[in-house]
Amino acid sequence: MMDGNMPDGYGRNHYIGGGFRPADSGRSGPVFNPSTGAEIYRTPYAGRTLVDEVAALARRAGRDWGEASQARRLQVIFRMREIVAREAENLARLVGLESGKTLSDAMGEIGRGLEAVEFATNAPQVTKGEYSRNVGGGIDTFSFRQPVGVVGCIAPFNFPVMVPLMMGSMAIATGNAVILKPSERVPGAAARLSELWTEAGLPAGVWNSVNGDAEAVDAILEHPGIPAISFVGSTRVGEHIWRHGTHHGKRVAAYTGGKNHMVVLPDADLEAAARAFVAAGYGSASQRCMAVSMLVCVGEDTAERLRPLILKRIAGLQIGAYDTPGMDFGALVTRAARDAVEAAIDRALTEGGEMVHDGRGLTVAGGEGGFFTGATLIDRITPEMQLWRDEIFGPVRGIMRAASLDSAIDLVNAHEYGNGAVIFTRSGGAAARFCAEVEAGMLGVNVPVPVPVGHHNFGGLRRSKFGDAHMFGPDAARFYTKMKTVSQRWPDEAKAALPLTLDFPGND
Rounded distance, CA 140 to CA 263, Å?
53
**461-462 and 481-488 beta bridge pairing:** unpaired
Rounded distance, CA 324 to CA 264, Å?
34
Can you say how many angstroms the Cα of residue 463 is from the centroid of all Cα atoms in its chain? 15
For 463, the 3-state DSSP assignment is coil
How distant, in Å, are the alpha carbons of 161, 330, 493 from that of 135? 47, 62, 20
How distant, in Å, are the alpha carbons of 79, 396, 438 from that of 423? 39, 20, 10
Bridge partner residues of 294 (DSSP): 261, 398
For 392, the 3-state DSSP assignment is coil
Within 10 angstroms of residue 238's Cβ, the number of other Cβ atoms is 24
**354-357 and 376-379 beta bridge pairing:** antiparallel
Q: Is 178 left (phi over 0), alpha (psi -120 to 50) or beta?
A: beta
Rounded distance, CA 119 to CA 77, Å?
10
**Known active-site residue 289:** yes
Q: Which residue is catalytic, options 153, 289, 297, 435?
A: 289
How distant, in Å, are the alpha carbons of 22, 44, 47, 253 from that of 26? 12, 8, 9, 31
Residues taking part in catalysis: 289
